[in-house]
Chains A and B, each alone.
Chain A
Amino acid sequence: DTGVSQDPRHKITKRGQNVTFRCDPISEHNRLYWYRQTLGQGPEFLTYFQNEAQLEKSRLLSDRFSAERPKGSFSTLEIQRTEQGDSAMYLCASSPRGLAGALNEQFFGPGTRLTVL
């Protein structure tokens, strides 16, 4: 399978715990995005990387959230001191490059569903 993969698919944690999610993009894609989606809403942008550089972060991303893409391949999203409001589906997407045209199409992974108790 050469699509975007995410791990784990489901995570249940207690409030206050830290969690880390992993995303493996399509290998030739240099852009990687993280989104959060709650029921009845569209995906909400969190942050994105071009290769290993984190180029933009949403203002909604609190200091408890951090993302890395150390070698420009896989990425991790960590949430520290989780809160019940963090419960959501966390989606990762990758795209070929940041140029105009259909190459900007994003390919989404299956997501990690986080439940904070």
Chain B
Amino acid sequence: GQNIDQPTEMTATEGAIVQINCTYQTSGFNGLFWYQQHAGEAPTFLSYNVLDGLEEKGRFSSFLSRSKGYSYLLLKELQMKDSASYLCAPLGGSYIPTFGRGTSLIVHP
């Protein structure tokens, strides 16, 4: 089976840095996605990691450790518009992503 664990909710201040952790167990592994989802909207792609290490893309970075079944999403220079749910989704052996419950990030002034 597949098991994904990420915090339910986090709060942070505008301009700060926040790290959202995700641990997972999957049957087979073909990478891990992070998606952003604003309330009432569809998820949008943020990042994809298939090899260990850090992938940086502007204000967002994502890290993967396959041996530890661990990933994190790092958001820098937080803006109010970053308030959203962040979904960790490992890609199993069938190339179907399994989504976690998501971490609701609240950015306040």
Number of A-B contacts (CB under 8 A): 52
Number of interface residues of B (CB under 8 A): 22
**B101 partner, pick from A41, A104, A108, A111, beta carbons under 8 A:** A41
Interface size for chain A: under 10, 10 to 19, 20 to 34, or 35 or more residues?
20 to 34
Whether A67 sits at the interface, judged by CB under 8 Å, is no
Interface residues of A in 24-72 (CB under 8 A from B): 33, 35, 40-45, 48, 56
Across the interface, A105 reaches (CB within 8 A) one of B41, B45, B87, B98, namely: B45
Chain B residue nearest to A40 in the complex (CB): B101
If over half of B's interface residues share one DSSP class (helix, strand or loop), that class is named, otherwise mixed; here it is loop
Residue of A nearest to B94 (CB): A56
Are A104 and B42 neighbours in the complex by a CB distance under 8 Å?
no
Residues of A with Cβ closer than 8 Å to B? Answer: 33, 35, 40-45, 48, 56, 91, 98, 100-102, 104-111
Query: Which 9 residue pairs spanning A and B have beta carbons closest together?
Result: A42-B99, A108-B42, A43-B99, A98-B95, A102-B48, A105-B45, A42-B102, A42-B87, A108-B43
List 18 interface pairs A-B (beta carbons < 8 Å), by A numbering: A35-B99, A42-B87, A42-B89, A42-B100, A42-B101, A43-B99, A44-B99, A45-B96, A45-B99, A100-B30, A101-B31, A102-B48, A104-B95, A104-B97, A105-B48, A106-B33, A108-B44, A111-B42
